[in-house]
Amino acid sequence: MTIEHKRSSKSEIEDLIRARYSLIWVTSHEENRVEESLRKLCVEREMRLEVWSITEGFKVLANGQGTRDVKDPMKAIDHVIRSEGRALFVLRDFHPFLKEPAVVRRLRDAAHELRKTKKTLAVLSPVTKVPPELEKSISAVLDWELPNRSEIEAAARKVLPSLPQATQQVIESDPTFIERVVEGALGLTLVEAENVFAKSAVRTHTFDLETILEEKKQIIRKSGMLEYYEHREEFSDVGGMDVLKDWLVKRRSAFGSRAKDFGLPLPKGILLIGVPGTGKSLTAKAVGALWQMPLLRLDVGKIFAGLVGSSEENIRTVIKTAEAIAPAILWIDELEKGFSGTQSSGSTDGGTTSRVFGTFITWLQEKTTPVFVIATANNVQQLPPELLRKGRFDEIFFCDLPDREDRRQILDIHLRKKNRDPGQFDMDKLVDATVDYSGAELEQAVIAALYDAFDSGADLTTDGLLKTVRDIVPLAITMREMIEGMREWARTRARPAAARGSKPAKKEGWMAKYGAPTANLGDKGPETDDGDRKLEL
């Protein structure tokens, strides 16, 4: 497609009108909100605003009044061409009529005619479905942005008077209260935000952050591609990978204005590649907690699943949502699964995969909003080479199997998580017996040994652990060639996530840095299998 895609707001469309763009496509689900912005714009610029729909014909919404009973789409375009003066015309839901060759032709004529006038025609639709004949005539497609903080705040303030007097006072007396509430609703459309606030008011007689976030989570999940992920993993739950962890810790405060004033560029994102089970997904999840930012998990496969909109629409929706929630982390797990077919895309799917991929990498490179991307992959061969070029990600990290010291840390973490004191175990023996075991396999060994111990009525011991370790055949053995290939690939293209060899023996060191693991011995009673699940008894 040759059309210029922009994410847009009122000021963007104002520039286009001033630059005499005659035909624009505006994509948004929020008809009322877009029209309200356009109305304000037309009042400011002293332009007439006429909005058309198949059911009502034209209605003047700014600088004039009245209706024009032209419901027929062809006649509607004629009306635009014939009208006098400075005006903006909006055609609501016009895309179904663009199946008619005559309508398309007429619209092309209009685009041409309007160029000589002070009139602009905008098609407003929830989808971007530009017929190829129109591509050259439509000068820009604008993806209308989701509401910003001040719009969401206005929605919250509308609900405020319906709350009990005392609650209103509490809210007004704490300037951060509304801020947090607004933050909680970012990423929703205005109507969705209004509904969420209303629901919270009815249920809890206040703005309850938990209710708001819960609603938001569900709305985002309904979009089918993104999941709003709860922080469950702490950064201290990740063992090893000191280089990667240091990198992330250093950027903990890189999203604020102080960092910007200091001259730091906004971190863009990282790609984590490597051996299965080494903690790539775990790290992505833990960064949310470390940086105290919302984490959005993107299922790339679902972008192409075709259940919701078109794939191109879907990737733009994802970007729009992430930017509205920003500062945020966009976690793309198993990146290669979605983007493996970009090279053959032209012949297999009419180029859809490569267009979606193109939209994604352009955004990755040019984005100016604080959305940090963490992508993970383990089949590097399938990744499109463009993705690995400089400028796309800040850094590509290779996550290899843990070495001795890192295995010690990982075992330490998983023993503590099960409320066992690592000091009671012969850690040297254990790390010696687990050469080439991944983090996931070390965890698996601890859990299997726990089962065995529970079954035999004794507690977990070093010998018990050694026994389950022997029973597990690490992937490194069955997949030796693949892992070697990956190492070879990474040697020149990626940075190791963990320093090798020269590490100080630093159990205390890393704990001091990242904090002790979450489930500290003696913190609470013994954990049950249910974790923190609430059971209905």
**E-assigned strands of 114-254?**
119-125, 140-144, 226-229
Residue 305 C-beta: closest distance to ligand ATP, Å? 20
Amino acid in position 109: D
* 175-185 helix and 149-159 helix, angle to the nearest 10 degrees: 110
Q: Which is nearer to ligand ATP, 370 or 439 (CB)?
A: 439
Q: Which is nearer to Mg ion, 281 or 340 (CB)?
A: 281
Which residue is at the shortest CB distance from ligand ATP?
439
Q: Report whether 457 contacts 446 (CB < 8 A).
A: no
Residue 187's nearest CA partner among 160, 211, 223, 157 is 223
474 makes contact, choosing from ligand ATP, Mg ion, none, with CB < 5 to 8 Å by partner type, with none
Q: Which is nearer to ligand ATP, 108 or 414 (CB)?
A: 414
500 phi and psi, to 5 degrees? Answer: -110, 145
Residue 322 C-beta: closest distance to ligand ATP, Å? 21
Q: Contacts with Mg ion in 254-293 (CB under 5 A)?
A: 280-281
408 binds ligand ATP (CB under 6 A): no
Q: Which segment (186-194, 270-278, 354-362, 489-497) binds ligand ATP by CB under 6 A?
A: 270-278
Q: Residues binding ligand ATP: what is the number (CB under 6 A)?
A: 18
Q: Which is nearer to ligand ATP, 279 or 422 (CB)?
A: 279
413 binds ligand ATP (CB under 6 A): yes
Q: Report whether 336 contacts 273 (CB < 8 A).
A: no
Residue 397 C-beta: closest distance to ligand ATP, Å? 11
Number of neighbouring beta carbons within 10 Å of residue 327 = 17
For residues 379 and 175, give the distance between their C-alpha atoms in angstroms, rounded to a whole number: 48
372 phi and psi, to 5 degrees? Answer: -95, 125
Residue 45 C-beta: closest distance to ligand ATP, Å? 52
311 makes contact, choosing from ligand ATP, Mg ion, none, with CB < 5 to 8 Å by partner type, with none
410 binds ligand ATP (CB under 6 A): yes
Task: Return the structure tokens found at 501.
Answer: 């060899």
Q: What residues contact residue 131 under an 8 Å CB cut-off, 6+ apart?
A: 98, 99, 104
Give the count of alpha carbons within 13 A of 422, CB side only. 21
Q: Contacts with ligand ATP in 271-300 (CB under 6 A)?
A: 276-282
Residue 519 C-beta: closest distance to ligand ATP, Å? 12
443 binds ligand ATP (CB under 6 A): yes
CA distance readout (Å), 474 to 15, 191, 389, 426: 60, 52, 33, 21
Residue 202 C-beta: closest distance to ligand ATP, Å? 39
Helix (H, G, I), strand (E, B) or coil at 62: strand
Q: Which segment (98-106, 107-115, 438-446, 501-509) binds ligand ATP by CB under 6 A?
A: 438-446
Residue 325, classified by CB atoms within 10 Å of its CB into exposed (0-12), middle (13-18) or buried (19+), is: buried
Helix (H, G, I), strand (E, B) or coil at 24: strand
Residues in the chain: 537
8 makes contact, choosing from Mg ion, ligand ATP, none, with CB < 5 to 8 Å by partner type, with none
282 makes contact, choosing from Mg ion, ligand ATP, none, with CB < 5 to 8 Å by partner type, with ligand ATP
439 binds ligand ATP (CB under 6 A): yes
Write out the H or E segment, with its range, that includes residue 321.
helix 311-325
320 makes contact, choosing from Mg ion, ligand ATP, none, with CB < 5 to 8 Å by partner type, with none
Residue 123's nearest CA partner among 112, 107, 136 is 107
Residue 313's nearest CA partner among 95, 12, 36 is 95
Q: Which is nearer to ligand ATP, 128 or 278 (CB)?
A: 278
Q: Which is nearer to ligand ATP, 146 or 272 (CB)?
A: 272
Q: Which segment (52-60, 439-447, 465-473, 524-532) binds ligand ATP by CB under 6 A?
A: 439-447
Q: Report whether 482 contacts 489 (CB < 8 A).
A: no
Q: Contacts with ligand ATP in 229-248 (CB under 6 A)?
A: 238-241
439 makes contact, choosing from Mg ion, ligand ATP, none, with CB < 5 to 8 Å by partner type, with ligand ATP
**E-assigned strands of 290-344?**
295-298, 328-332
How wide is the angle at C-alpha 324 spanned by C-alphas 318 and 16, nearest 5°?
90
216 binds ligand ATP (CB under 6 A): no
494 binds ligand ATP (CB under 6 A): no
Query: Contact positions toward ligand ATP, by CB under 6 A?
Result: 238-241, 276-282, 376, 378, 410, 413, 439-440, 443
Q: Which residues bind Mg ion (CB under 5 A)?
A: 280-281
